Amino acid sequence: MKINENTGSLGVTFDQQGNAQILLWAPLALSVELTIQGHEAPLALVQVDREYWYLKTPTLKPGDRYWFRLDGAPLLPDPASRSQPDGVHGPSQALRLDDFPWTDMKWTNKPLSEYIIYEVHVGAFSSQGNFDGLLERLDYLKALGITAIELMPVAQFPGRRNWGYDGVFPFAVQNSYGGAQRLQALVNACHCKGLAVILDVVYNHLGPEGNYLPQYAPYFTDKYRTPWGKAVNYDDAYCDGVRRYFLENARMWFEHFHFDALRLDAVHAIVDFSPNHIMRELLQQTDALMEATGRCHYLIAELDLNDPRYTDTLADGGYGLDTQWVDEFHHALRVASGQEKMGYYSDFNGLEHLAKAYRDAYVYDGAYSEHRKKNFGRKVSTAKGERFVVFSQNHDQVGNRMLGERTSKLLSPGMQRVLAGAVLLAPFIPLLFMGEEYAEPNPFQYFIDHGDVELVKAVREGRAREFKDFYGERPPDPFAVETFMNSKLEWELLSRPKHKKMLAYYQQLIRLRKHHEALRHLDGPSCSVELHAPVLVVIRRYQNQVVIGILNFSNQLVPISLPHHSGNWHKLIASCDNAWGGTDEGPEVLSNRLEWTVPAESFSLYTNYYEQS
C-alpha cells in the first residue's frame, strides 16, 4: 500500500464517512498498535511505504483518548497529536478539526505593507490566560490601529504556564489556552473584525520535557549541535520523514486554523544542506496551497544571520520567505536611547548605526563585527520595506533580560515616546509587544511549569549561572507562580492619566502611518536619513508628499537648521505636546529653513503636504 491523499495526514484524521485514519511515521518499528481508552483490545497498524504505519477504523471516534505502542514497549502519545487534554505525558485525543463552523469566507489577507503587528503571549495577556481572554480585547486592538495579531507559540507544553518555546507537540494546541476549537474561534473572530493573525511556530527545537519524538524515529541528529542540543534532522538519514512532519504542521495551521502567516522561530538554528533547503520547500508548499485555495499566506523568519538569501526570491536563488525580523534596528535604537552596551549591544554605536538601519535594514552587511570577531552579513539587494519587521521591544528582548524589564521601566516616558515614533516612522513593518502602547510596567519574565523536579532545578541553576555577573542578585524563580503572575498585563492601568495618554499617543502615531502615503509606502529609496547628533532626521517621501521625522535622543534642547528643506511644514504630531504627557508644545508650522530648538527626548513629525488626519 502506498501513502496518498486517501491515507490522510500524519496523526489521526477522519474521512467523510466518519472513519478514523491513523498514519504514523515509525521507520524502525517492527510492530505498532493503537490502544483506545475504554477498549480492551488494541488495534494493529499495517506497514506502508516502508517507514509508515496505517490504520482505517470506525472504532476510534472524535473525543476518544488513545496511545501508540511500538514493539511491545510502554504506551506513548501520538507525535502528531491534535490534543493533549491531560498534558504532555497523557494520552492523545482524536479531534475532527474540519468541524468548526467558519464564518470568515469574506476575509482577504492584507498586503504585508499594511501589517501593523501586535505580539501577544496568550497566557500573560489576560487574567483568564487563554484564547477567550484575547478574544475579549479584539475591539481594543482594532481601536489601537493594529492590523495583525501575532500569537507566541501555542504548541502543547508541560504544565499550564510557559513563556512559549518549550512546546513538545507541534500539532496540539495548548490545553490550558483552550485547545484547538477555541483557537479556531479566535482566528475566525479576528478575521470578522478585519484583523490578520500570525502564529509563531518552532521548527528548530523541541522543549526538554515530554518530547517523545526520539522514541518514534530519528527526528534529531548529532551531526549538528544547536543551543538546545541535537539539531532537528533535516538532512541526515531518515530526514524525509522529519521534513514531511514539519511541512504538514505548517499546512495544518493554514488549512484548518486559517492563519494568515507563520512566524518561523530562529531559522538560523535550522541546519540543512539538502539541495532543496527546508525553508525553500516550505515556501514551495505554501505557494501551491495558495494557488489551490486562492487564499494568501505569508512566511516570516526570525533570522540572526544578516543573510538576504532567506528573503531573496526563488528566481534569485533564495528561499523566498516574505519578510524577516531584523534585530539590528532594535539594537541600534536601544543604544541610541542611552541603554547599556552589553553583550551583542557592544557592536552598536547608537545614532550612526540607527541611521544605517533606516537606510539599509542590516547594520552589519559585510563590515567587521567586534562582538563576533569576524566580517558579518551581506548587503540586501532590494530595499523593499516589507521584507523587514522592526520593533523597540519584543518577547526576546524583554524576556531574555534577567528581570524581564520592559522599556517602561528602563526609560523615561519621553524616551518611550521617541522609540515609538522611531518604529512607526520606519519604512518597514512595525511590531509592538503587548502592553507597550500604554507603558505597561509589569515585567515579562521567563517562566516554566515543568513537572520534572530535576529539570526545574537545572533551569533554576542555569538561569543563575547565566546572570551571575548581573546586578548582584539572583533572577526570579522561573518555576514560581508569582513569576508568571507578575508578567501579566495590568489592564486596569488604562484608567490612569499617564497610561491613557501613552495609549492615545500610540493610536495617533498609527493613525498617521495609515493616513499618509509617505508613511504607508514601504519602498526603501523613499527614505533618507540625516544625522545631526544627537538629533536624527528621517525623511519619508511618496510622490509630492514629504514627511520629516525629527528625533532628539538627548536630554538637552538641541537647535537645528535644515535650510535645504524649504517651504511650510505642518505639524502632524510632537511627543512633547501636553496631550501626550509632554511639557512643551511643538510649533504648528515651521517655515522655510526648518529652524527649531528641538525639545529634549522628543519625536516630532512634520509634512509639506497638509491634510487633516
Output the known binding site for substrate.
Answer: 263-268, 327-331, 395-400
- Catalytic (active site) residue 248: no
Q: How far apart are CA 298 and CA 315, in angstroms?
A: 18
Alpha helices in 469-554 (DSSP H): 481-485, 497-515, 517-520
Q: What are the CA-CA distances from residue 513 to residues 428, 529, 539 (Å)? A: 11, 18, 14
Q: Other C-beta atoms within 10 Å of 30: how many?
A: 9
Q: Is 273 exposed, middle or buried (0-12, 13-18, 19+ CB in 10 A)?
A: exposed
Q: How far apart are CA 296 and CA 250, in angstroms?
A: 14
3-state secondary structure of 173: strand
Indicate which residue of 260, 302, 312, 436 is catalytic: 302
Cβ atoms of 113 and 386 closer than 8 Å: yes
Cβ atoms of 172 and 80 closer than 8 Å: no
Indicate which residue of 265, 307, 449, 601 is catalytic: 265
327-336 helix and 351-360 helix, angle to the nearest 10 degrees: 150
Look-up of cell digits 509639506? 608
- Catalytic (active site) residue 132: no
Q: How far apart are CA 296 and CA 112, in angstroms?
A: 10
Q: Is 465 exposed, middle or buried (0-12, 13-18, 19+ CB in 10 A)?
A: exposed
DSSP designation for 93: E
Q: How far apart are CA 371 and CA 368, in angstroms?
A: 9
Q: Other C-beta atoms within 10 Å of 148: how many?
A: 24
Residues in the chain: 613
Cβ atoms of 32 and 75 closer than 8 Å: no
H and E: helices and strands count for the chain: 15, 30
- Give the containing element (helix H, strand E) for 607: strand 602-607
Cβ atoms of 88 and 168 closer than 8 Å: yes
CA dihedral 211, 214, 216, 218 (to 10 degrees): 140
Whether the ω angle into residue 534 lies within 30 degrees of 0, i.e. cis, is yes
Strand (E) positions, 339-475? 368-369, 374-375, 388-390, 429-433
Catalytic center residues: 265, 302
